Structure 1
Amino acid sequence: MKKQLISLLLPALLWSSVASAETLSLKECLERADHSNPTLRTAVWDSRIAEENVRQTSSSLYPRVDAQVGYTVQDSAQAVKINGFTAETQEPNYAFGGVAASYTIYDFGRRDARLKQARLQADAAASLFQAQRKDLSLQVIEAYFGILQANRMILAAKEEMAQVEQHRRVAQALFEEGVVTRNDVLQAEVRLATARQSLLARNNLQVNSWLQLNYLTGTHPSHRAELDDSAAVGSVDEEQVDAADALTKRPELQALRHEFNAAEAGVREAGSSFFPELYTRAGLDYLENDKVREQVILSATLGLRINLFDGFASTSAKARAVQVRSRVHDRLRQIKTQMQLEIDMARNDVKVARERIAVAEAAIRQGEENLRINRERYEERVGTATDVLDAQTLLTQIRTDHYRSLFDFQVASARLKRAVGEL
């Protein structure tokens, strides 16, 4: 029975060891998100719908062909009276049909403006999709380095627990020798419980970060893998960033420019509704009537039509188009200011994170030396237990700050690249 149980569990253990050995790179996460993110897969339909709108609007460049056929039943045939005589001019029941083709020759730019507007809206949708992709990449990077940071913080918490546990054993040994009071042991046990609480919180942060990353990459929530600790976004020289050039690379700004130009075309289209339209029509009509000579009539028309009154619909449409253009224009100015703010803040975050790394590296060496001195003083019964515990807590905090500064630098670099349109 025991051998059978081992034979059943061995494949599962081997599979789990292979699965845990999987290394997931940042590049792979970004590729998975690009192909499987649910939000991005939904957003792609906006671009496709906009392209179909262009095709629909382009139909006005071609003639419109209509056909009709039917059969009419009347109570009695229509007739005329001539010199006291009545003569029917049609049959009481008759079939009819026809084919007609109409085409707008000139409409003072209304058709061209409508088509231009549709194309610009499609370009805007495509640019917005690219902006969503870049935002998604930034979210993936933040989640990826969030997991790496959580892993390091868990290690720091475990190291603190090990150090506090070692101190507790020393305090217990000294208490049993009658050198220190019971308070030293209790103090160490309380600090150990606090360290365990911190470890639980950091484990929870790691789990939530994994759930976020799996959602962004379209992966099952239970998926886990080894992440690449050497992953890096690539730094940007914050001092050499040209804000004016960076703004031209932002897809959100490009989308707004397309929307503004589309709004301009909308104003021209609305204004052209006040002008006439020159059109042509060619038709073939059949009317079943044995009382006339011609039952099939071919016709060609060159006409001019203009709307005289539509309940102020055209006036309202033009006013609305002007207001839409003004709104997009104000939004364009706002987004430029907002993007400049993003660049300035991201540039400052990169600079500060780089300085924090240098400060934390020096502080770690000092914290380790401080802990060593206080531990030796306590073992020699010169220092107090509080000094040792405080030194351990301080070292854990310094290491945590160091890990945060390392990963904050990567995330800040990604934000700066996103802000300047290079992510």
Structure 2
Amino acid sequence: MQFSTLSIFFITLLAIPGVTVAAPLTLKECLERGKRNNPSVVVAKRDSAIAAIGAKHAKAAFYPRLDMQGGYTMQLESQAVEINGRSAETQQADFAYANAALVYTLYDFGRRDARRLSAQSSADAEESNVLTREQDTSMQIIATFYGILEAGKLVKAAEEEALQVAEHLKIASIMFDQGVVTRNDVLQAEVRLASAKQKLLSMRNRLDNLRLQLNFLTGADPASREDLVEQVEIPSETAVLPEPKKALEKRPEIRALKKRIEASAYDLSESNSAWYPEIFSRLALDYVQNDRVREQTIMSATIGLKMNIFDGYATTTAKQRAVSIKARADETLRLAEAQFQLELATAVNDSRVARERIAVTETAIRQSEENLRINKDRYQARVGTATDVLDAQTLLTQSKTEHYSSIYDLQVAVARIKRAMGEL
């Protein structure tokens, strides 16, 4: 009868409009949500799109430029010339005019190519930066995901400790009423119970904060509290040993920095060619309203050369700036390579230590459980003290805490290795 009642309850719950039962959330789904919805990833994608548009804009210099203008001019007097002492008007006082000109740069000693290649390299760098943001976000999601699982286990361990202390307090109170133990045993148990409750509140608060962090990273509603699927693997030590040389090749940050170095090199090339002239062609159509002349519309074609003689040292300072930017980009790349090698080495060390901690803490838990059982029996037999029981309970909780921490630290360390390898 009880089973039928529960079945009817759940069927009715599912039939109510707007009520849904969310499926447990896997780590893979969290990572996919992060790549779609994380604010930093979205901003990086916008930057990449802007850089791609900038690359298209740089290609405009390879096309001819068509300009048109027109207007109406009103003068106080008509323009005139003096010929043999006689004045002759050459222009109407008021007139309309129009102009159309097609201008194309024939050769500029590589400035256009340098701008185009620099813009394209910058766009490629921003594209790699998107991958960097995605991997950084994925690393944060993984750490938070396993942090939630660990916090959940710690909450459970804290609840068990509080129940055990409460049970001990009950036994101590009974024994005190019987005159077997002193009031000190009861007071000690009450203080330890208060401490266990405070620890439990702290663990629950940490769990709630981690939930908020995961919702932020995945772009979910802050109030969402979806269950997480427990996904814990203990890979072999050889399965996570990386190849440092390949790590730098796969890191999107390294690719982005190399592209920025390319862009700065092209900027330097452009600044070097700024002292050279530019060869251009111009096809124009000019109309000026003037009934004093025979031809009011004139077509012309021009091939010319132009160059800057002095620009207030703007060209010189532009080159100096390009040289400095190129040097800074080179140093940034070297710094990043050193940092990534350090990141990889520390992640490998942390994974090795976490794997060793798991084996040690498994044994410690079994020993702590046995120690608690013995001390409980000794206390009830009045050959042990309340302090021994409480210390044994604390030791068991600590052993479980360290065991859970080592398991999830290993998961995060393995993810850090993949992140350092650019494979996350």
Q: Shorter chain as normaliser: what TM range?
A: over 0.9
Question: How far apart, CA to CA, are the structure 2 residues paired with 1:238 and 1:370?
Answer: 37
Q: Deviations over 1:34-82 (max 9, x none)?
A: 1112222222110011011111111001000001111111111111111
1:116-162 CA-to-partner distances (Å, cap 9, x unmatched) read: 00000000001111100000001111111111011000010011111
Helix, strand or coil at the partner of 1:203: helix
Equivalent position of 1:345 in the other structure = 346
Match of 1:331, as an amino acid?
A: T
The residue number in structure 2 matching 1:72 is 73
SS at match of 1:69: strand
Give the alignment's Cα RMSD to 1 decimal. Answer: 2.1
In 1, Cα distance between equivalents of 2:13 and 2:400 = 37
- In structure 2, relative to structure 1, the CA distance for the partners of 1:207 and 1:337 (3 Å cut) is same
Q: Structure 1 pair 383/236, CA: closer, same or farther in 2 (3 Å)?
A: closer
Contact 1:20–1:226 (CA<8 Å) still a contact in 2?
Answer: no
State the percentage of identical aligned residues.
51
Q: Secondary structure at the match of 2:225?
A: coil
Provide closer, same or farther for how the CA distance between residues 311 and 372 of structure 1 changes in structure 2, counting only shifts above 3 A: same
Give the whole-Å Cα distance in 1 for the aligned partners of 2:401 and 2:390.
Answer: 16
- CA pair 237-372 structure 1, distance change in 2 beyond 3 A: same
Shift of residue 233, structure 1, vs aligned partner: 9.6
Residues 343-363 of structure 1: CA deviation (Å, up to 9, x unaligned): 011111111111111110011
CA contact (8 A) 1:238 1:347 kept: no
The verdict on how the C-alpha distance between 1:15 and 1:380 changes in structure 2, with shifts beyond 3 A counting, is: farther
Structure 2 partner of 1:33: 34
Query: Which position in structure 1 is the counterpart of 2:286?
Result: 285
Q: Is the 8 A contact 1:118 1:262 kept in 2?
A: yes
Aligned partners of 1:314 and 1:59: how far apart in 2? 22
Aligned to 1:90: 91
SS at match of 2:275: coil
Stretches of structure 2 that go unaligned for 5 or more consecutive residues are 1-10
Structure 1 distance, partners of 2:59, 2:35, is: 31
Change (3 A) 1:337 1:404: same
The answer to whether the Cα contact below 8 Å between 1:236 and 1:416 also exists between their aligned partners in 2 is: no
The aligned counterpart of 2:3 is none
Alignment of 1:344-423 (within 5 A): 344-423=345-424
Cα distance 1:210–1:19, how it changes in 2: closer, same or farther (>3 A)?
A: farther
Judge which range, 169-178 or 362-371, deviates more: 169-178
Contact 1:71–1:96 (CA under 8 A) maintained in structure 2: yes
Q: Does 1:187 align with 2:209?
A: no
Alignment of 1:266-285 (within 5 A): 266-285=267-286
**CA distance in structure 2 between the aligned counterparts of 1:63 and 1:251, rounded to whole angstroms:** 37
8 Å CA contact 2:14–2:20 kept in 1: the answer is no
Say which SS state the counterpart of residue 309 (structure 1) adopts: coil
Aligned residue runs from structure 1 range 1-150, under 5 A:
22-150=23-151
Shift of 1:399: 0.3
Deviation per CA, 1:16-48: give whole Å up to 9, x if none: 9x7666311111111111111222222211001
TM-score, normalised to structure 1, is 0.94
Which residue of structure 1 aligns with residue 166 of structure 2?
A: 165
Output the CA distance in 2 between the equivalents of 1:111 and 1:225: 54
Residue deviations 1:146-180 (CA, integer Å, cap 9, x gap): 11011000010011111111211221221122111
**In the TM superposition, what whole-angstrom CA distance separates every residue of 1:86-121 from its partner, at most 9, and x where no partner exists?**
101111111111211010011000000000000000
Contact 1:349 1:412 in 2 (8 A): yes
Is 1:258 matched with 2:259? Answer: yes
**Structure-1 separation of matches of 2:122 and 2:230:** 43
1:26–1:231 contact (8 Å) kept in structure 2: no
Structure 1 residues 33 and 126, CA gap change in structure 2 (3 angstroms): same
TM-superposed CA distance for 1:11, in Å, is 6.7
Q: CA deviation at 1:386?
A: 0.4
Q: SS of the counterpart of 2:291?
A: coil
* Structure 1, 325-334 or 231-240: larger mean CA deviation: 231-240
Q: 1:141 to 1:239 in 2, by over 3 A?
A: closer
Name the CA distance, whole Å, in 1 between partners of 2:158 and 2:232. 23
**Are residues 173 and 305 of structure 1, via their aligned partners in 2, closer, same or farther at CA, if it must alter by over 3 Å?**
same
Do the aligned residues in 1 keep the contact of 2:27 with 2:231 (CA within 8 Å)? no
Q: Aligned AA for 1:229?
A: E
Secondary structure of the corresponding residue to residue 300 of structure 1: strand
Structure 1 distance, partners of 2:410, 2:307, is 65
What is the count of residue pairs matched by the alignment?
Answer: 416
- Per the alignment, residue 5 of structure 2 pairs with none
After TM superposition, list the pairs within 5 Å mapping 1:296-375 onto structure 2. 296-375=297-376
Please say if residues 20 and 224 of structure 1, whose CA atoms lie closer than 8 Å, have aligned partners that are also in contact. Answer: no
Structure 1 position 412, deviation (Å): 1.0
Amino acid at match of 1:99: A
1:216 is matched with: 217
The one-letter amino acid paired with 1:167 is H
**Is residue 25–residue 231 contact of structure 1 (8 Å, CA) maintained in 2?**
no
CA distance in 2, matches of 1:154, 1:240: 33
Per the alignment, in what secondary structure is the counterpart of residue 24 of structure 1? coil
Work out whether residues 235 and 413 of structure 1, in 8 Å CA contact, stay in contact via their aligned partners in 2: no
